[in-house]
Amino acid sequence: MAKVSVIGTGFVGASSAFAIALQGVCSDLLLVDANPERARAEAADISHGAAVANGVRVHSGDYQDIAGSQVVVIAAGVNQKPGESRLALLSRNASIFQDVLPRLCAVAADAVVVVATNPVDIMTDVTRALHPNPQRVLGTGTVLDTARFRDLLGRESGISPRYIHANVLGEHGDSSVLCWQYAQVAGLSFAQYLATIGKTWTAQDAARVEEKVRGAAATIIAGKQATYYGIGAAVAKIVEAVLKDSRAVMTVSGASDFGVSLALPNVVGRDGILHTITPSLSKEEKSKLERSAEILRTSQKGLLENGKLLV
Ligand code: NAD
């Protein structure tokens, strides 16, 4: 079976590793961290869960041990403090990636790389700039935001979020675009479905949901300093899509016609992003997506130009 490595085993990396181990889609799982004690302790803890779940072999190690991995998750870096935006993390995390990527690519340049570190869209571009096979790099994008959106629509409608089709596109951040145009239940628009169960849906209700989706991370960080279970589950789903070549449509972040990596509906399989789907958006959604791309282009200035790192 397959081998997966996780670089950076703090809250996000360790939760991702735990979710991957419970999912049982790989045979070997390697944890690497700048703090080897941390990686060792997380590997031991997760392997005790794996022993009563799927028997995945969990180890800790160094970069040379990553060789032979089909997928490498990068969650190394600093996270947001209360009140801090994701974009504020950029320069610190970009310099961590300048340390991580050459060491990773020296041993596993063919692995699909899943970037979770924030600001994830720009860190995806930083990774692409540092990688000899940039087409094998993708970011977690808005897979988590999309899950949050579907969860809230599920609660509003009394339907399992698994059966609600809805996407968040653009930046994983304040300018993300919630697509109401194709939020659907069994082919009905969300508002049409609610009408069938005697509920009304207003612009104020939609605005309330949008605020909750965009504010979810800040709310969780205020309560417990970091978010990690949701992103851990999202990372495990992406890893599964790659290892099983399942061609899942996921709002991962990848190269786009906007000149920056951002989240669009992408078909994910063995080689990472296989194909990007152009969504059918309303005029308003299109202009919000263009604005989100503009924010990402502006935030990259001084760091990246035409896909190349300037520093
Ligand atoms: P954390 O501080 O708990 O863990 C970060 C880990 O990275 C630490 O264990 C640290 O030792 C390690 N690290 C630092 N430099 C390293 C290096 N050069 N090589 C290897 N390891 C290194 O932080 P966290 O809460 O796990 O967050 C990690 C990242 O994930 C942050 O950027 C955070 O904002 C991001 N995040 C992303 C999403 C998403 O949706 N993509 C969601 C939540 C958090």
Enumerate domains of the chain plus CATH numbers.
3-139 (3.40.50.720), 142-304 (3.90.110.10)
Cα-to-chain-centroid distance, residue 189: 26
Residue 80: predicted pLDDT: 81
Query: Is 95 touching ligand 1 by the criterion CB < 6 Å?
Result: no
pTM as predicted:
0.97
Task: Answer whether 89 contacts ligand 1 (Cβ < 6 A).
Answer: yes
d(CA 73, CA 147) in angstroms, rounded, equals 19
Cβ neighbours of residue 107 under 8 Å, at least 6 residues apart? Answer: 63, 64, 66, 67
CB 134 within 8 A of CB 105: no
User: Was 93 annotated as part of a binding site?
Assistant: yes
Tell me how far the alpha carbon of residue 153 lies from the centroid of ligand 1, in angstroms: 29
Atom number in ligand 1 closest to CA 12 = 26
**Peptide bond before residue 279 is cis, with ω within 30 degrees of 0:** no
At residue 200, does pLDDT exceed 90? yes
What is the DSSP-derived secondary structure letter of residue 110? T
Query: What pLDDT, in 10s, does the model give residues 34-78?
Result: 999 999 999 999 999 998 999 999 999 999 999 999 999 999 999
pLDDT of residue 288: 97
Mutation test residue for ligand 1: of 11, 15, 91, the one with most atoms within 8 Å of CB: 11
* Residues in Cβ contact with 160 at an 8 Å cutoff, skipping those fewer than 6 apart: 154
pLDDT grade, residue 174 (50/70/90)? very high
Cα–Cα distance, 294 to 104 (Å, whole number): 31
Burial 18-51 (b: 16+ CB within 10 A, else e): bbbbbbebbebbbbbbeeeebbbbbbeebbeebe
When the pLDDT of each residue in the chain is averaged and rounded to a whole number, the result is 96
Decide whether any atom of ligand 1 lies within 6 Å of the 74 Cβ: no
User: Per-residue pLDDT for 306 more than 90?
Assistant: no
Query: Is 147 assigned a ligand-binding role in the annotation?
Result: yes
- In angstroms, what is the span from residue 217 Cα to ligand 1's centroid? 15
Distance 8 CA to ligand 1 centre (A): 6
Residues with a catalytic annotation lie at 172
Express the helix, strand and coil content of the chain in percent, nearest 5 each. 50, 20, 30
Instruction: Look at ligand 1, atom 33, and give the residue with the nearest C-alpha.
Output: 79
| 252 Cβ closer than 6 Å to some ligand 1 atom | no
In terms of Cα–Cα distance, which of 46, 40, 80, 76 is closest to 60?
40
- Tokens standing for 246? 């399942």
| 129-164: pLDDT as tens digits | 999 999 999 999 999 999 999 999 999 999 999 999
Indicate whether residue 104 lines ligand 1 (CB < 6 A): no
The tens digit of pLDDT for each residue in 16-40 reads 999 999 999 999 999 999 999 999 9
In this structure, the chain runs to a length of 311
